[in-house]
Structure 1
């Protein structure tokens, strides 16, 4: 076996299962799961229809690059959404469909990381807390994660100016997540512009996980994206910039396993070669359904409205008893707790049959401490009535502590 497998930590949901093992929640309270960020809104009917009418495509092998029509629809969407008016997004050069952002965020590290940089083990910069795929991808590629704490004091945004020069000298890849998981923080234009400048100076790739970019609260102020800033700066060929987008959150289609990576044409040319061996081409019916989803915004606005209603209702219940704020974007709450996060999650489940994820499972201890300590992640993905019921149960539990 690959010896690097031993360096992987248990996935957060494995740890959660162990935490609640042997507990029996009240039988009279229906289970409510806020632990996993799995969208539960209904899949758009027209997407399901596109799947159905294209099932004959299962008789054909899909190409790694995907259909020209799918890539064109992706480019058109990204150009509209991020106002890419200076540097044209070329469907032949700048876009590849992927089987969900998870597999692409993992595999890009395997493709771009050289095992040794100047005879040193490379470092991969990433936020802390984080999506654990970043860490696992770096470790299995032979690199060492370099964590940047995203805490309330810095607006939950990564301060890249704090990375030492000796680290930058051996960084081939930087992961960012905006809007952030689990904090919901959105990196500002200045943050992204500064990071692009560093990427050109030190010759690394930026992998921007933007899978929550379409879940926001002000229709007039969508989160800024990495390619948007690169376009505004006139970065030729989107050099050093890659963005990862998914239909899982945007269109409530987590089971479709469909997304795309877009950006640096020279990198994507070689990444395409990698993917021909990696073997994650989207089935033709999935491509047809994805094309339909990227071409429509009405269902996405409806999706956002549903999340707004849930945040409004839940925060009204929780704010009087918890230190919790509405995020800038995304569908998570990241409250500060009156007790240890593992104890909170375990006892909330035991008493109220509500599952949340301990914040320390989403982060690592550094010199500055564990930024997830005494916090939990609550995913407001169930229907509105369940979210309201869960919030009331959380409130009941918090009030019982007093």
Structure 2
């Protein structure tokens, strides 16, 4: 077996399952899960119809790994509509089977494990695929903590120069998971300068870009590069997905865009990896990327939900409305002494509500775990269910202000 598999840590949801293994939750309450970031809003009917219509056309041909020209054009057109960017659909855009698959595969494409000290820099806390992709590529992760006093901005200045010097890939997530923080142009400018100096690739995970609560839409890495005159998007790849934007996580559809030279090599890797997208998924994806009305409606649903739920939780937890995404990143009460896992376990037992311990989404690094003492709540269900969960959490905190 591949010895690098032994380096992988249990996935957060497996750890949560183990945490709850011996717990008997309140049988009088309906279970409510805020643990997994899986969109629950209804999939738009027109996307389902496009999927069905494509099936009727048959599945008798192998799809091309590069995707149909119509899909690449639809993705490029969306970039034009959303960010006023003109990318070459043939060379700077590539359909992928969801951002998760692509984040992992791009890492295998980019990393050269034969170079001494191959390093992948990742936010901390982070989406667990970043770490697994780095380890299985033969690189070592370096974790950069977020700072709650600076809207959970990552402390890029804390990375030593010798680490940047051996870095081959940097993961960026904006809007962030789990914090919801959006990176400003100044932060992008700093990272581009570091990339120019040290030659590493930037992988910009932007799958939450269409769920936001401010008037100004989140800035894309591609958009930031263009504003700074980097029109060739050198060493930059952005990842975009339909899962959250269009409520189709089961479709497994997204695209990457950016540096044409990297896209070319990524396509080569994917050709051997067998990563072609089903033609029926491509047809549904073309329909989804071409419509914005359902995205506006989806965003408004989240805005209404967060406006109702956040104040209830803010009465008992350290939490506020994020910039974007569908998570609340809350601090547990001081009386719990930062034990987020114990808090989540006791909450589940008393109120049958599942939240994810923040320490499960981060790593102990340089003497601390930046997720410790926090919980992530995914407000993906309908408003009434999320509001009931918030009221149960508030009731629990008032009854249990400190750890037993």
Using structure 2 for the length normalisation, give the TM-score: 0.96
- Alpha-carbon displacement from aligned partner over 1:340-383 (angstroms, at most 9, x marks no partner): 11111111111111000000000001125111101100000011
- Contact 1:139–1:145 (8 Å) recurs in 2: yes
Partner of 2:347: 348
Q: Residues 306-327 of structure 1: CA distance to partner in whole angstroms, max 9, x if unpaired?
A: 1111111111211111111110
Alignment check: 8 A CA contact 1:70 1:288 kept? yes
What's the CA shift for 1:236?
A: 4.0
Q: What is the TM-score with the length of structure 1 in the denominator?
A: 0.97
Matched, 1:159 2:160: no
Partner residue, 1:121: 117
Query: Post-superposition shift, 1:80?
Result: 1.6
Question: CA–CA distance in 1 between the matches of 2:225 and 2:316?
Answer: 42
Q: Distance in 1 between matches of 2:240 and 2:58?
A: 24
The equivalent of 2:220 in structure 1 is 225
Deviation, structure 1 residue 271 = 0.6
Distance 1:57 1:303 in 2: 31
Q: Hey, what does 2:196 align to over in structure 1?
A: 200
* Aligned pairs for 1:1-400 within 5 A: 1-55=1-55, 56-84=57-85, 88-117=86-115, 120-218=116-214, 220-338=215-333, 339=336, 340-400=339-399
Cα displacement (A) at 1:11: 0.1
Q: Distance in 2 between matches of 1:162 and 1:357?
A: 27
The answer as to whether partners of 1:25 and 1:351 remain within 8 angstroms in 2 is yes
CA drift of 1:60 comes to: 1.7
Contact 2:208 2:245 in 1 (8 A): yes
Please report the RMSD computed on the Cα atoms of aligned residues, expressed in angstroms: 1.0
Q: Distance in 2 between matches of 1:313 and 1:256?
A: 30
Structure 2: how far apart are the matches of 1:156 and 1:271?
Answer: 31
Say whether the 8 Å CA contact 2:213–2:322 is kept in structure 1.
Answer: no
Contact preservation (8 Å) 1:212, 1:250: yes
Give the conservation status (yes or no) of the 8 Å contact 1:51–1:289: yes
Contact persistence 2:147–2:155 (CA under 8 A): no
Distance 1:366 1:162 in 2: 12
Structure 2: tracts of 5 or more residues without a match: none
Could you list the per-position Cα deviations for residues 92-144 of structure 1 after superposition, in whole angstroms to 9, with x for gaps in the alignment? 10011000000000111101100132xx1211111000000000000000101
In the TM superposition, residue 59 of structure 1 has moved relative to its aligned partner by: 2.0
Q: Which runs of 4+ in 1 moved over 6 A?
A: none
1: distance between equivalents of 2:222 and 2:310? Answer: 33
Counterpart CA distance in 1 for 2:374 and 2:208 is 20
Secondary structure of the corresponding residue to residue 59 of structure 2: helix
- The total of aligned residue pairs comes to 396
State the Cα distance separating 1:151 from its structure 2 match: 2.4
Contact 1:214 1:250 in 2 (8 A): yes
After superposition, the C-alpha distances for 1:255-278 in whole angstroms (9 at most, x for unaligned) are 000000100000110110000011
| CA-CA distance at 1:75 after TM superposition | 0.4
